[in-house]
C-alpha cells in the first residue's frame, strides 16, 4: 500500500478479509467497493500472472485515482476498474465476458476521503452542501430529501435507517425549520435546508446532552442510506454474488451498521434476507450460500486503537454451495 492510498483510506481488517477470500493465484476476484484501493492492492499482491481483479466504485473520486495513475497498476491486463454501482455487478461483469468468479469482497459504506471532503456533506464536522451522494452523476441529494419529504416520511426514514429514538420529534423540527427558512427567504434564495449546518441547527434542541455527536451521526446515516439506496443496492449485490460465485467461491462482507450486517448474516445463512431456512423434500438446505465465519468477526483492539473506523466494523465470510439439482 502506498502512502497516498493510506491517506485516502486505511483498509479495515485487511488480513481477515484476505483470509476470508482464500485467494487462488489464478482466480478471478471482485472488489465491489474499491475506495482507496487498499483491499484491491492486497488482492493484486496475492494474484499470479493468470489471476484477475475487477473493482467497482460508483464514486468519481475513486475512479480518478485509477485514471490519474495515483493507484499504481503495474499490470493493467490483470486489473479492470468499473466506475459503477455494485447493484449492476452481474451485468458489468458480463460486459467484460465474466460469468463466474472465485471471490467477492464488499467493504461497505463510505471512505475516509468521502468523509474528509466538506462539500460532499458526509461529515457532521464541517459545514458543506447537504449532498451525501456517493455517485454525484445522478439522484436526489440529502437537501432535496429533507426539503421535500413529508414529516411522516422523514420520521419513518429516521426511525428505520437511523434507529433514532426521537425520530418523530426530529422530523417535526426539520419540517418547522425548513418552513421558517422558506418564509424568511426572498423568492430567489428560499432554499430551505441547504447545508449540513442548516440541518444541525434544525435538530439542535433534539440532541440529548452528551450524545450530540452520536445522534447527529445517526441522523446523517439515515439520510445517507436513503439518498444512496444503500440497502437495496446491498440486497441486489448479494443476490447476484450468489449466482456469480463458483462452487465454494468466497463472499466477504464488512459492514458498519446493524441494518447492513443483519441482511448479510441472513443471506449467508439462508440465502434470503428474512433469515428463513428453507429445505427441499429430503431436508437439504435450499440456500445457495453457507456461512464460513463463526459469528461476526471484529477488528482487533490494536486495529481499533490505530483506526477508529474499525470500531464498528463486522466482517462475515460466506461460501457458495452447490444446490441439489443445479448444473
Ligand X SMILES: C[S@@+](CC[C@H](N)C(=O)[O-])C[C@H]1O[C@@H](n2cnc3c(N)ncnc32)[C@H](O)[C@@H]1O
109 vs 288, beta carbon nearer ligand X: 109
CA 309 from centre of chain: 13
Say if strands 314-320 and 297-298 run parallel, antiparallel, or are unpaired.
Answer: antiparallel
Name the H helices within 14-110: 14-21, 38-46, 60-67, 89-95
Distances 306 to 121, 181, 318 between C-alpha atoms, Å: 25, 42, 27
| Shortest Cβ 29–ligand X spacing (Å) | 13
19 vs 248, beta carbon nearer ligand X: 19
232 vs 278, beta carbon nearer ligand X: 232
Which residues, at least 6 apart from 197, have a Cβ–Cβ distance to it below 8 Å? 127
| Shortest Cβ 110–ligand X spacing (Å) | 6
Cell (9 digits) for 243: 449466482
Rounded distance, CA 129 to CA 133, Å? Answer: 11
User: Using CB atoms, what's the residue nearest to ligand X?
Assistant: 35
3-class DSSP state of 246: strand
Rounded distance, CA 197 to CA 126, Å? Answer: 8
Cα angle value 223/59/1 (rounded, 5°)? 115
**Residue entry with cell 447527529:** 216
| Shortest Cβ 238–ligand X spacing (Å) | 12
| Shortest Cβ 173–ligand X spacing (Å) | 29
SS3 content of the chain, % helix, strand, coil (to 5): 50, 15, 40
66 vs 158, beta carbon nearer ligand X: 66
145 vs 252, beta carbon nearer ligand X: 252
9 vs 257, beta carbon nearer ligand X: 9
| Shortest Cβ 2–ligand X spacing (Å) | 12
Binding site for ligand X (CB under 6 A): 9, 11, 33, 35-39, 56-59, 62, 85-87, 107, 109-111, 134, 233
35 vs 249, beta carbon nearer ligand X: 35
| Shortest Cβ 188–ligand X spacing (Å) | 34
| Shortest Cβ 233–ligand X spacing (Å) | 4
Amino acid at each position: 500500500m502506498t502512502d497516498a492510498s493510506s491517506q485516502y483510506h486505511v483498509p479495515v481488517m485487511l488480513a481477515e478479509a484476505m483470509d476470508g477470500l482464500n485467494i487462488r493465484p489464478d482466480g478471478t476476484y471482485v472488489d465491489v467497493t474499491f475506495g482507496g484501493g487498499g483491499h484491491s492492492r492486497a488482492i493484486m499482491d496475492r494474484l499470479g500472472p493468470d489471476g484477475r481483479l475487477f473493482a467497482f466504485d460508483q464514486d468519481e473520486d475513486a475512479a480518478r485515482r485509477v485514471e490519474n495513475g495515483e493507484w499504481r497498476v503495474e499490470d493493467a491486463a490483470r486489473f479492470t476498474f468499473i466506475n459503477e454501482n455494485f447493484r449492476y455487478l452481474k451485468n458489468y461483469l458480463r460486459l467484460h465476458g465474466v460469468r463466474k468468479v472465485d471471490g467477492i469482497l464488499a467493504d461497505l459504506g463510505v471512505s475516509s476521503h468521502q468523509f474528509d471532503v466538506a462539500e460532499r456533506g458526509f461529515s457532521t464536522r464541517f459545514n458543506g452542501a447537504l449532498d451525501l451522494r456517493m455517485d454525484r452523476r445522478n439522484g436526489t441529494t440529502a437537501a432535496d430529501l429533507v426539503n421535500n419529504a413529508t414529516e411522516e416520511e422523514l420520521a419513518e426514514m429516521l426511525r428505520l435507517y437511523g434507529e433514532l429514538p426521537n425520530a418523530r420529534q426530529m422530523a417535526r423540527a426539520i419540517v418547522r425549520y425548513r418552513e421558517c427558512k422558506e418564509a424568511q427567504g426572498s423568492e430567489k434564495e428560499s432554499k430551505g435546508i441547504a447545508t449540513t449546518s442548516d440541518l444541525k441547527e434544525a435538530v439542535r434542541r433534539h440532541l440529548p446532552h452528551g450524545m450530540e455527536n452520536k445522534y447527529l451521526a445517526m441522523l446523517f446515516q439515515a439520510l445517507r442510506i436513503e439518498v444512496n439506496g444503500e440497502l437495496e443496492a446491498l440486497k441486489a449485490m448479494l443476490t447476484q454474488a450468489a449466482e456469480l460465485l463458483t462452487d465454494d467461491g468466497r463472499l466477504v462482507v464488512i459492514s458498519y451498521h446493524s441494518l447492513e450486517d443483519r441482511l448479510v448474516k441472513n443471506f449467508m445463512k439462508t440465502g434470503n434476507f428474512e433469515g428463513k431456512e428453507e429445505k427441499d423434500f429430503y431436508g437439504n438446505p435450499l440456500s445457495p450460500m453457507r456461512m464460513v465465519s463463526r459469528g461476526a468477526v471484529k477488528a482487533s483492539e490494536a486495529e481499533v486503537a490505530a483506526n477508529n473506523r474499525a470500531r464498528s466494523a463486522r466482517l462475515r465470510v460466506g461460501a457458495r454451495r452447490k444446490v441439489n439439482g443445479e448444473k
